[in-house]
Amino acid sequence: MVNVIASKHLGGFVSHVSGTVSKVGMHGQGLAVGSSTLEQFGEPLAVVGSFIFGAMLCGLLAGRDNLHEVHIGRTLYGIALLGNAALLVATVSLAGQEQAIYVAATACGLQNGMCTMHLGAICRTTHVTGLSTDIGTTYGRLLSIMIRSRCQRKLDPHDRLEFFVITAKLRIYHSLGFGFLFGSYTGAWLSFWMNVAGLYVPAGITFFLGVLYLWDRKALQMRQHEVEGKRSLNPQQADEVCALLDRTALLLGELGQQPAHGAELPHIRDVLQSLQTSLAERYRADADVNL
């Protein structure tokens, strides 16, 4: 929504930094040969700087990073949502002035930084270049599995696990892509109906979410703890798995002197590596997957 309304009423896009950086390069060359003015060079540069400044504000608010998990319920995430709403309202009040586009870019940087730090790099809400790349490469991996397994007729444990992960990722990617497209469509209608005041709608949404987050964050924390509890490994089952792995290691040691098919051990290694990676990702244990 913000990007479309900014394009129509503020004179340019404010969220997809790649194109704006390209403009900086183009006008830099134009400045050197005399075909661009200093103002044409400085405007996209300031938009990029504003976006980075917004993301920097998010990093400042987030505090110490946790390398293994996201802690739902941090007060400062709610403050970031309220700050985003305030920046969008300020953009409307500055409409018609040069500073408006920079304030909108700061809001986009804050929003994107917040979602990236809160949900991980899989969720970037202001641009779809990386998302489009992820969709393409993930479909390529899916096609590779389909060919290798003859359309799932001969799936080994490694391919079965990867197939499950890939389809789950694609559901997320498609949801994000549809959300961005729907937001752009809605933003165009808001621009048509309300002009630049259409920014009040996303401002109101983020303000409401920020207030809800701050008000209900204790319940969110409890819900996260419940989910983490359900995902925790059962100690008894974990001991049984460890015993099975120990017996497997002993058996491999006993059979180490016997001739074996050349593909057997690499296959066993791949299965165990997949299990190790799956456990590390699913339960977010402090495990080193490079053991």
Dist CA 163 CA 89 (whole Å): 45
The residue type found at 173 is: Y
Please report how many Cα atoms fall inside a 13 Å half-sphere around the Cα of residue 42, on the Cβ side: 5
* Tens of pLDDT, residues 80-126: 889 999 999 999 999 989 899 999 999 998 888 777 666 655 556 66
Residue 262: is its pLDDT beyond 60?
no
* The predicted structure's pLDDT at residue 73: 47
With a threshold of 0.85, does the pTM exceed it? Answer: no
Nearest to 209 by CA among 278, 92, 114: 114
What whole-number distance in Å separates Cα of residue 9 and Cα of residue 5?
Answer: 6
The span from the CA of 191 to the CA of 213, in Å, is 28
pLDDT class of 260 with cuts at 50, 70, 90: low
Scan for tokens 């599995």, then name that residue. 145
The whole-angstrom separation of Cα 290 and Cα 288 is 5
Q: What is the pLDDT of residue 96?
A: 86
Q: What percent of the chain has pLDDT over 90?
A: 21
Nearest to 73 by CA among 204, 223, 206: 223
Cα(204)–Cα(192) distance, integer angstroms: 18
Residue showing tokens 């791949």: 270
* DSSP for residue 233: P
Tokens of 16: 């997809």
Query: What backbone torsions phi and psi does residue 145 show, to the nearest 5 degrees?
Result: -65, -40
Instruction: Give me the pLDDT at residue 67, please.
Output: 41
**CB count in 10 Å sphere of residue 59:** 14
Cβ–Cβ < 8 Å for 201, 92: no
Neighbour count for residue 170 (Cβ, 10 Å) = 16
CA angle at residue 101 from 100 to 104, to 5 degrees? 90
pLDDT in tens, 163-221: 888 888 889 888 888 888 898 899 999 999 999 999 999 999 999 988 888 887 767 66
What is the reported pLDDT for 21?
A: 87
- At residue 100's C-alpha, the angle toward residues 50 and 9, to 5°, is 120
Locus of tokens 């207030």: 211
